[in-house]
Amino acid sequence: MAVGAHPEPEPTPALAPPASRYINRELSRLDFDERVLAMAEDPRLPLLERVRFLAIFSQNVDDFFQVRVAGLKEQVLAAISVASPDGLSPVEQLKAIRARVESLVDRQVGLYKREIVPALAQSGIAIVRADEVSKRELAQLHTVFREQIFPVLTPLAVDPGHPFPYISHLSLNLAVRVRDPQRPRQPRFARVKIPPVLPRFIPLVDGERYVPLEDVIAVHLPALFPGMEIVAHHPFRVTRDGDLDDVDSDAEDLLAAIQTELRRRRRHARVVRLEVDPGMSAEVLDLLMRELELQPGDVYQLDGLLDMGSLSVLTRLDRPDLKEETWTPTTQPRLRGIGAEAPDLFAVLRSGDVLAHHPYDSFATSVEALIDQAASDPDVLAIKQTLYRTSGPASPIVRALIRAAERSKQVVALVEIKARGDEQANIGWARALEEANVHVVYGLLGLKTHAKVTLVVRREGGHIQHYLHVGTGNYNPNTARGYEDVSLLSADSDLGADVTELFNLLTGYSRQSRYRKLLVAPTNLRTGITQLIEREAVVGGRIIIKVNNLIDQEIIDALYAASQSGAQVDLLVRSMCSLRPGVPGLSERIRVRSIVGQFLEHSRIFMFGNGGRPEYYLGSSDLMPRNLDRRVEAVVPVSDSRLRHRLQQILDISLADDVLAWELGPDGAWRKVPTVLGLNSHNRFKELAIESAHGNGVHGVANA
């Protein structure tokens, strides 16, 4: 909509009560998981893409329980009765969560059994249970079990001489009831862990039929308990509290504190969910609940395959006919060399900034290439980089940093060892960096460092030149192929000075709070974003924000006020959104959309109309209290007119999507956007990248 094309705003009404102003963040997160599940339900998608989304849904729910549900349970145990912004107590939220999860899991199981399994079988990938195999196949399973599975198994008895064993986080297990023929009235309980080091599905002779590993083990339980009668066996799975945010960041040795907490949680983290087979006997279920200290509300019955996240292994099968066509990122024209000769990226950046839109634009030939060239360039004096998640010591970026240190350059890696799920891996490769004489630091006390920033310091003649990268995604080549992100590469002197001061803050002692261009959390990012929103709170004001999550009350209230004052607001929010759009008198000028497709929407882009002279920002921060107040984040303005045009193009295409897009209504419900134009934003970005590679299209102009 053109600037100034809005009607005069109505008088601002009295503020609505909190329950109608905000959507519960936990239920909003489950709304996102439902959108992922809807992708698995879409028969228009290739079959293994549907399987991939089914697995992602399961993994998302696992993550939700180990973090969000665990946090609510901690509040209940601590008798913290503070209501959420929408007015629900922790107990009320847990009840609502259970109802939603049960409904979603029922849909997941039904989809798997009624559609996915038959469709896989028709395509030559049959998942069969143990009672469906032929005698010939059973003989094969006997051999596989004896040679490959049996040596790995460790059955654990439970009796007065054998205490109940520790059940590890997200492990799949068999609860086994056995009876000694000499003491038939004293049935015994044992636990058999399904080893995660073995394949989840065992292929049969024809290569088209697969048996779940737990079924193979169940068939051979007599070999594990010779001389015993197998009374019953049931699979079960445990989810534990997996959040490390309560680690004392003021500890004298943070690395040691993290390792200690990881060890402690490995043995003592509270169980927050028990998934069981619905046929499990009451006696066995009572035993598990008692030993794991659970209530009935913590138990979920699944009449199907437990741990559907493991279905992701099927997506690695060599079946291109059942998948989306593999996308190969293109290299932007300005980043291409001549013939086989690689470009001088320093010269490219001195002539102007570069914007990369991943995975459409190659991460390898942009971000990785800059760091690789810096590691080899004899005039580069220093490389400084934040590392939140990466692919470990084998990462091209980590290898480049090590190579740079070996060439006596000053190399600093700020490693965030509290990156949830990657703590142990980050500790491992942080030590590998230290062994290569890279200066490894762990950031500021009490704050996670989530910023995605690299600084290269180079001697050029008689002066020092700074080159930098600020992005929205992790320095991880694996996720760069599947996550949608944006990167700014620049030689801007003011940004170079800002990033230098940011690294001084992160590695030394500094109270730096003012920057020339950067918005940095937790110092000036919240106030900066709020002021930019407030500036647009006029008739004709324009705001477009693309983030993963929007749950911060202060930011939401500022957006409400801007809407009430006449601003048009479009929000692209991938996952959690607590803002309620389209409410008369509150937010009728706000539209909220979410895109779920082949690539994970991950970029954070901010556009503010500024009276017809739009301003654009990109960076690492979502609009959540943790990002704005408890993390180090970096958001950078984009000043080059060509790059601003490119960012607007990304936003416009995303807002026009009517294939992958969902829209949030004033009632808090998400609905699929009706397909009229048939615009799939992911496919359109691929087309633009290809046009750019051939020297055509706006994409090429934007990065010329």
Question: pLDDT at position 336, please?
Answer: 87
- In percent, the amount of the chain with pLDDT more than 90 equals 76
d(CA 172, CA 117): 21
With a cut of 60, say whether residue 421 has pLDDT above it. no
* Per-residue pLDDT tens digits for 180-196: 888 877 788 999 999 99
575 vs 265 pLDDT, higher one: 575
Q: Residue type for 513, please?
A: S
* Per-residue pLDDT tens digits for 354-396: 999 999 999 999 999 999 999 999 999 999 999 887 666 678 8
Question: pLDDT at position 239, please?
Answer: 96
With a cut of 60, say whether residue 704 has pLDDT above it. no
d(CA 187, CA 183): 8
d(CA 1, CA 13): 25
Q: Which two tokens stand for residue 66?
A: 């180990």
Spell out the residues 6+ positions from residue 306 whose beta carbon is closer than 8 angstroms to its own: 172, 214, 235, 236, 237, 275, 277
Question: pLDDT at position 14, please?
Answer: 45
Q: Which two tokens stand for residue 693?
A: 């590679």
Find tokens 């200690």 and name the residue. 260
* Per-residue pLDDT tens digits for 543-569: 999 999 999 999 999 999 999 999 999
The sheet with strand 201-203 has its strands ordered as: 126-127, 209-212, 201-203
The residue from 357, 358, 450, 682 that is catalytic is 450
Determine the average pLDDT of the residues in 591-603. Answer: 98
Find tokens 């936990």 and name the residue. 26
State the DSSP code for 81.
Answer: -
With a cut of 80, say whether residue 461 has pLDDT above it. yes
Could you say which architecture CATH assigns to the domain 345-507? 2-Layer Sandwich (3.30)
d(CA 421, CA 243): 8
Say if residues 94 and 74 touch (Cβ distance below 8 Å).
no
With a cut of 50, say whether residue 258 has pLDDT above it. no
Question: pLDDT at position 65, please?
Answer: 97
Within 269-362, where are the H helices?
Answer: 282-292, 345-350
With a cut of 50, say whether residue 231 has pLDDT above it. yes
- In percent, the amount of the chain with pLDDT more than 70 equals 89
Given CA atoms 33, 35, 41, 46 in this order, what sign does their dihedral have?
negative
Determine the average pLDDT of the residues in 594-612. Answer: 97
With a cut of 70, say whether residue 426 has pLDDT above it. no
State the DSSP code for 34.
Answer: H
| Structural domain boundaries in the chain | 46-322, 345-507, 518-702
Domains 46-322 and 345-507 share a fold: no
d(CA 438, CA 425): 17
Question: pLDDT at position 299, please?
Answer: 97
* Per-residue pLDDT tens digits for 287-323: 999 999 999 999 999 998 999 999 999 999 999 999 9
* Per-residue pLDDT tens digits for 93-127: 999 999 999 999 999 999 999 999 999 999 999 99
Q: How many Å separate Cα 601 from the centre of its chain?
A: 10
Q: Which two tokens stand for residue 50?
A: 């549907």
User: Does the 518-702 domain belong in CATH 3.30.870.10?
Assistant: yes
Say if residues 509 and 387 touch (Cβ distance below 8 Å).
no
**pLDDT category of residue 415 using cuts at 50, 70 and 90:** confident
Domain 46-322 class, CATH top level? alpha beta
Query: What are the CA-CA distances from residue 695 to residues 139, 331, 392, 657, 700 (Å)?
Result: 60, 11, 36, 25, 6
**pLDDT category of residue 430 using cuts at 50, 70 and 90:** confident
Q: Residue type for 196, please?
A: P
* Per-residue pLDDT tens digits for 645-666: 999 999 999 999 999 999 999 9
Task: Give DSSP secondary structure letters for 197-263.
Answer: TS-SEEE-TTSSEEEEHHHHHHHTHHHHSTTSEEEEEEEEEEEE----TTS-TT-SSHHHHHHHHHH
Task: Say what the pTM is.
Answer: 0.91
450 annotated active-site: yes
Given CA atoms 93, 95, 96, 99 in this order, what sign does their dihedral have?
positive
User: Cβ atoms within 10 A of the Cβ of 572, count?
Assistant: 27
Mean of pLDDT over the chain: 90
**CA nearest to 550, candidates 624, 446, 641, 655:** 624
Which range is least confidently modeled, 15-19, 249-253, 615-619, 690-694?
249-253
d(CA 132, CA 139): 13
d(CA 4, CA 555): 24
